[in-house]
Amino acid sequence: MEAVCYMQVYKTDRYASLLQKLTKARANRDRIARNAKALESATPNMTKKQKDKQGFKKKAAEEDVSAAAANVAGAKGKYNFLGMAIQFAQFRYLSGKHAGAVVAALPFEPISLLRRVTQRGLSGVEGYPRAASWFFIYMLCNFALKGAVVKALAAARGEEADAGGIGSMLGSPQMRKTMKKFGYTDEDLEFMTDLGKGVGM
């Protein structure tokens, strides 16, 4: 999932162009700031017109940086949204295909508290403590792979992995309201929010 999102967003020419514009805007802002400081040092008695002119240049440069940064953030938002859409599709497919089914037998007998996770969605398995549902296997795969993949892809584009993610996005009231329109219940959203935050989604 992460690789698909990465190829659809970060490896595109559009994203590279947005980053280039942001880099240029920051360089221009820093250049204007340096020139303004040098001018102030060389001209102690600057007129109001000169000061206003320098102030206008600084403000325009800051606005250019803000606009470029907003465009880059928008592209990252597309990455998060695409990842969330794929995550929901996976969740719906797996929960529908393997609902109530035992998909694995654990090599150990978990304690009763842990069985609330390993046997989530299962019924009639009280006498089989090693039985595991699809959710537990899914969670293990996320714990084992997702964090490493996210960090690797972030390193490939020269950034730190985002602190937020699907878990954080689902925590917002507006997002929860939107997802309810698609048929998700409070229980579904709470479950996926906790899952997302727990595995770094």
* Cα separations in angstroms, 149 against 7, 88, 90, 140: 13, 19, 17, 14
Tokens of 60: 């325009």
Taking only the tens place, the pLDDT of each residue in 177-196 is: 666 766 667 776 666 666 55
Q: Is the pLDDT of residue 145 over 80?
A: no
* Cα separations in angstroms, 140 against 17, 136, 166, 174, 195: 37, 6, 17, 30, 11
Most distant CA pair in the chain: distance in Å?
Answer: 88
Taking only the tens place, the pLDDT of each residue in 7-53 is: 777 778 888 888 889 899 999 999 999 988 888 888 878 788 888 88
The alpha-helical segments, DSSP class H, found in the chain are 2-9, 13-42, 48-97, 112-118, 134-141, 147-156, 166-170, 173-181, 186-199
pLDDT of residue 136: 85
Residue 137 — very low, low, confident or very high, per pLDDT cuts 50/70/90? confident
Least confident interval from 62-66, 74-78, 113-117: 74-78
Taking only the tens place, the pLDDT of each residue in 101-134 is: 888 888 888 887 788 788 887 888 777 888 988 8
pLDDT of residue 43: 81
pLDDT of residue 1: 57
